[in-house]
Amino acid sequence: MLSQESLALIDAEIAKYPADQKQSAVMGALRIAQAEKGWLKPDVIEYVADYLEMPAIAAYEVATFYNMYDTQPVGRHKITVCTNLPCALMGANEIAEHLKRKLGIGFGETTEDGRYTLKEGECMGACGDAPMCLHNNHKMHTHLTTEKVDELLDKME
């Protein structure tokens, strides 16, 4: 189900916790599985749960609670825009509307070509750098303007 490389990375996550607390590595394990598979299908979540010797429902709870996990297919470029109050006060809603117009999709949608998915996100802990977005859960882009968004999209092509 997962590559040997991913299993080795999960084993490294497991090693961070006491031997009888393997399930504590669930967030890292799901992140690793998603990085390999692109999104978390139910059978992938169940596989991770089995690997961590925990009930599948517990892994589902984690995968569906946090917005960094995708339980539906997403585009190659997932853009998550923070719309919490500090970002909103600094123009995040305008940035979001610009992205919606430019991509022709709304929050929770993917472009027809499968290139972009646009998500609305909760606070990402960088309020002083608002407005901001997260690209594929790994790259944070801060102090956004419509011009910076256009440049960012051009680089993602």
pTM of the model: 0.81
Q: Are 77 and 136 in contact (CB under 8 A)?
A: yes
Whether pLDDT at 48 is above 80: yes
How far, in Å, CA of 117 to CA of 124, rounded? 18
Instruction: Say if residue 125 is exposed, middle or buried (CB neighbours under 10 Å; 0-12, 13-18, 19+).
Output: exposed
In angstroms, the Cα distances linking 98 to 28, 35, 104, 144, 147 are 33, 28, 10, 11, 10
pLDDT digits (tens, 9 = 90+) for 80-137: 999 999 999 999 999 999 999 999 999 999 999 999 999 999 888 899 999 999 999 8
pLDDT of 123 reads 87
Two tokens, residue 105: 């999709």
Q: What is the DSSP string of 86-147?
A: HHHHTTHHHHHHHHHHHHT--TTEE-TTS-EEEEEE---S-GGG-S-EEETTTEEE-S--HH
- The three-state secondary structure class of 77 is strand
Instruction: Render pLDDT for 103-112 as a digit per residue (tens, 0 to 9).
Output: 999 999 999 9
What's the pLDDT score for residue 124? Answer: 87
Q: So what's the pLDDT on residue 67?
A: 83
- pLDDT computed for residue 157 by the predictor: 73
